[in-house]
């Protein structure tokens, strides 16, 4: 647990940009990531180690990772689909790597072209690779439970299946698991219930974070439920950009700016400076290729008169 009450992990440079067809320049990505870190965001998912032909928007992830590692006190996170991606992430110096395992096997075949057992074998091989490193150089290894609240391709995803996959990921060598509402199906009731079920199976210390989408307008409600039940890390994307390109209709991450205001209005410290976060938003808006719209109620309305952030503003 960090020194703040809730840790926000900014996923815009990965989950946001992967869903936007035009490619942001490497220089602009670096400016944006630096501004995000300067606002106090403690963890940024800077990209994904996938073949450039699959996601050309993220072809510069190795360079971006190496740059982000020069920023003091920033946890540099990346997504990897397999052992080859993990090799690239480790070579670039990532602090945290996440491998997504879709509980919906149909989505897994669409997303990473692998069955559950094939993905678990990738996890075992990545674990073996990490274990060859000195302890101080080993990245944190997370298994992301994608589509765990429902799937646009399969529909309902049984919660007992989510629990079994969580157990399998831990047994295969992950340090922790994370819940992911890839398709925006989740409800606050599901968030509370599924969090508790996975905790009961793998231990509370091995599930601390959640990744939410706002596809059906429930993103902040689900984030609130996650915080109330006791999760301490919430993923979000500046301006609400992003979504899964392999899940039809799964657009829209929860908006970082609105999430910060929600948490701070509850007296929860996020460590984020609001004015500097707005500077990062301006950089993003200027750097986005094409006519890409940014979302967010708080950026449009501003902070209420007399509002005091729970986090001391530096």
Residue 173 C-beta-side C-alpha neighbours within 13 Å:
18
Q: Per the structure block, which two tokens stand in for 222?
A: 């689900």
Q: According to the model, what pLDDT value does residue 110 have?
A: 77
Give residue 291's pLDDT: 79
For residue 213, CA distances in Å to 70, 125, 172, 236, 245 come to 30, 30, 27, 8, 13
Residue 251 confidence (pLDDT): 57
Express each pLDDT in 195-252 by its tens digit: 999 999 999 999 999 999 998 899 999 999 999 999 999 999 999 998 655 544 445 7
Choice between 157 and 292, residue whose per-residue pLDDT is larger: 157
pLDDT of residue 249: 46
Of the pLDDT bands very low, low, confident and very high (cuts 50, 70, 90), residue 152 is: confident
pLDDT, one tens digit per residue, over 103-141 is: 988 888 777 778 989 999 999 999 999 999 999 999 999
Domains and CATH numbers, the chain: 7-301 (3.20.20.70)
Work out the mean pLDDT of the chain and round it to a whole number. Answer: 93
What local confidence, expressed as pLDDT, does residue 178 receive? 98
Q: Is the pLDDT of residue 38 over 60?
A: yes
Check residue 2 and give its pLDDT.
Answer: 64
The answer to which of 14-28, 119-133, 272-286 has the lowest mean pLDDT is 14-28
pLDDT at residue 267 tops 70: yes
Interstrand relation of 207-211 and 96-102 (parallel, antiparallel or unpaired): unpaired
- 96-100, 190-194, 239-243, 259-263, range with the lowest pLDDT: 239-243
**Which pLDDT belongs to residue 105?**
84
b/e string for 170-202 if b means 16 or more Cβ within 10 A? bebbbbbbbbbbbbbbbbbebbbebbebbbebb
Q: Are strands 207-211 and 7-10 parallel, antiparallel or unpaired?
A: unpaired
244 is catalytic: yes
Report whether pLDDT(78) > 80: yes
- The active-site residue, picked from 148, 151, 174, 244, is 244
pLDDT of residue 250: 44
Share of residues in the chain with pLDDT > 90 (%): 83
């Amino acid at each position: 647990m960090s020194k703040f009450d809730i840790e926000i992990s900014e996923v815009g440079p990965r989950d946001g940009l992967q869903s936007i067809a035009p490619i942001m320049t490497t220089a602009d990505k670096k400016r944006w990531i630096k501004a995000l870190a300067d606002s106090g965001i403690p963890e940024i998912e800077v990209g994904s180690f996938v073949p450039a032909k699959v996601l050309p928007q993220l072809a510069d992830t190795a360079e971006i990772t190496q740059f982000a590692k020069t920023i003091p006190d920033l946890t540099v996170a990346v997504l990897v689909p397999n052992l080859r991606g993990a090799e690239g992430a480790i070579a670039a110096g990532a602090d945290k790597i996440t491998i997504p395992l879709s509980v919906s096997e149909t989505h897994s075949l669409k997303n990473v072209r692998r069955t559950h057992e094939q993905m678990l074998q990738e996890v075992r091989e990545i674990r073996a690779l990490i274990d060859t490193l000195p302890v101080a150089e080993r990245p944190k290894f997370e298994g992301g439970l994608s589509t765990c609240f429902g799937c646009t391709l399969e529909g309902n995803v049984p919660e007992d299946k989510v629990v079994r996959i969580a157990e399998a990921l831990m047994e295969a060598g992950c340090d922790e698991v994370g819940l992911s509402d890839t398709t925006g199906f989740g409800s606050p009731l599901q968030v509370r219930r599924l969090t508790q079920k996975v905790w009961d199976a793998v231990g509370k210390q091995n599930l601390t974070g959640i990744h939410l989408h706002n596809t059906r307008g429930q993103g902040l409600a689900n984030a609130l439920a996650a915080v109330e039940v006791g999760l301490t890390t919430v993923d979000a994307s500046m301006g609400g950009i992003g979504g899964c390109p392999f899940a039809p209709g799964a657009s829209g991450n929860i908006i970082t700016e609105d999430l910060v205001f929600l948490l701070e209005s509850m007296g929860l410290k996020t460590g984020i400076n609001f004015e500097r976060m707005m500077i990062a938003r301006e950089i993003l808006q200027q750097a986005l290729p094409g006519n890409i719209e940014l979302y967010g109620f708080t950026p449009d309305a501003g902070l209420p008169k007399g509002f005091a952030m729970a986090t001391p503003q530096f």
